[in-house]
Amino acid sequence: MSTNLISSGTTAREKVNLRTPDVMAAVQQQVESHYCSDIVEKVRRAGGIISVGDTTVRLAKQFGFCYGVERAIDLAYAARKVFRDRRLFIVGEIIHNPEVNHQIASLGIRNLTGKNKQADISDLGPEDVVIVPAFGTELAIQQQIKDRGCQIVDTTCGDVMSVWKRVRKYASESATSIIHGKAEHEETKATSSRALGDGKGHYLVVLTLADTDYVCDYIRQGGDKQTFLERFKGAHSPGFDPDVHLQTVGVANQTTMLRGETEEVQRRIQRAVIDRDGPELAEKNFRFFDTICGATQERQDALRELLNVEMDLLLVVGGYNSSNTSHLAEMGEEKLPTYFVLNASRLVSATEIKHYNLHEKREVVSHFWLPNGPAVIGITAGASCPNNLIEETLIRLFELRGISRQQLELAA
């Protein structure tokens, strides 16, 4: 798929190339001024380790913006430059990072999605430009925007579109898509809409291994249909019937889930189908495909490697509604004290830190988080976190250890 030509809805409008050299040169300069970090790049080139006094910080080998996020941001900035005299809108957040979304809003790009998370397109017309975010959007919403003749700037990540291709194939084969993900997440909603195929396909979203085991029990021995539907309310296709639509299934996933957990979902469902049908028939009634995002996996692998090093604590930087960042925090929590922080402002003092509690799903305050004496601290960030926020966190961390920015810059 071309990343250069932007479609214009149902009108016969000429396609527009946003990636001309002059536009992209201006975009690159603007993006770098907003999101880049000299300190982080220097630390990376030095092997990801910086030590000043008795404080050592180790950066994961892979963190921060991935290609898909960079591309989405570049296209949004380019759209503002090319369509400078037209109204620009975006369906939801371009990525899950509040600082980046604030920057997008500062360009005059208005979010169509309100507090109820439903896109309001009632005011759109043919002269308006609508950006589809990196997660993609639901088919029905995209079609409504096209029907209004809007210019569409589609920044959907290629990895997400690979999942769409897979679930459409499942639908064409009358296989129900069992999607490992968060039913309320924009990407999973977009994928679910594609899993309907031509309208005859079905989907079921499972989040946890407990959800998976419940489905597996139903595959093996059936159960109470209404209880099943109530448990997965809001997480299945219209007209879904577990007695019918669990006969032939294919597993897919939200691209930012933990690979190991998705693989376990696949194994458990496959085992259940084999137990029900026997190995030969199960070959026809179960299918799966690896649809974990490469960048997500790289960041998980890099953190796994970092966690093999002895450290006192881990900071995970990024938006609290970022799925891939949340999974990094989960991985850290299994090994050592881990604090999931939105940005440097959450490092309040050497004795107080504000961070997101994944279990309580809210920001909490912890005390006496920073060790006295020599300390080794790890830092990583999700694919939606820009380097400038990592730099600010790094600077703040060293400040709390009595080390100035100037000392830090000299050491980097």
Tell me which residues are annotated as active site.
187
Closest CA to 400 of 357, 346, 358: 346
Residue 410 structure tokens: 């000299």
Closest CA to 204 of 178, 230, 243, 172: 178
DSSP for 289-357, please give it: -----HHHHHHHHHHHHHTTS--SEEEEES-TT-HHHHHHHHHHHTTS-EEEESSGGG--BTTEEEEEE
369 contacts 319 by C-beta, under 8 angstroms: no
**151 pairs with which residues across the strands?**
129
DSSP for 182-200, please give it: -TTSHHHHHHHHHHTTTTT
Helices 67-82, 158-172: axis angle to 10 degrees equals: 100
- C-alpha–C-alpha distance, residues 348 and 352, integer Å: 5
Name residue 340's amino acid.
Answer: F
- C-alpha–C-alpha distance, residues 301 and 306, integer Å: 9
DSSP for 211-269, please give it: HHHHHHHHHHH---HHHHHHHTTTSB-TT--HHHHTSSEEEEE-TTS-HHHHHHHHHHH
